[in-house]
């Protein structure tokens, strides 16, 4: 079964919900059964997406730039 809406838990820290809508990915058959006003509400939220959210890439910390040796004045 294809997924109609992807749940993004990180975008819902308070656990907000809509009546009858589970806080998980929603399959096509489930989505089609929701009334239009629920579908519009879900689509307007930040915690459901139509496309699969990409995982956050973990970047390695940057290495500090090498120290530049001080120049000695030759005066």
Confidence check: pLDDT of 16 > 80:
yes
pLDDT for position 35: 95
Calpha distance 10→13 (Å, rounded): 6
pLDDT for position 28: 94
Higher pLDDT, 75 or 26: 26
Kindly report the pTM of this predicted structure: 0.67
Calpha distance 66→11 (Å, rounded): 39
Instruction: Report the pLDDT averaged over residues 34-59.
Output: 85
pLDDT for position 59: 66
């Amino acid at each position: 079964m294809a997924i109609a809406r992807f749940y993004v838990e990180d975008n819902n820290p308070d656990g907000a919900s809509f009546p009858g809508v589970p806080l998980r990915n929603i399959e096509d058959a489930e989505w089609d059964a929701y009334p239009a006003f629920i579908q519009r509400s879900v689509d307007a939220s930040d915690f459901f997406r139509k496309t699969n959210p990409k995982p956050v890439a973990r970047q390695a910390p940057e290495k500090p730039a090498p120290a530049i040796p001080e120049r000695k004045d030759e005066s």
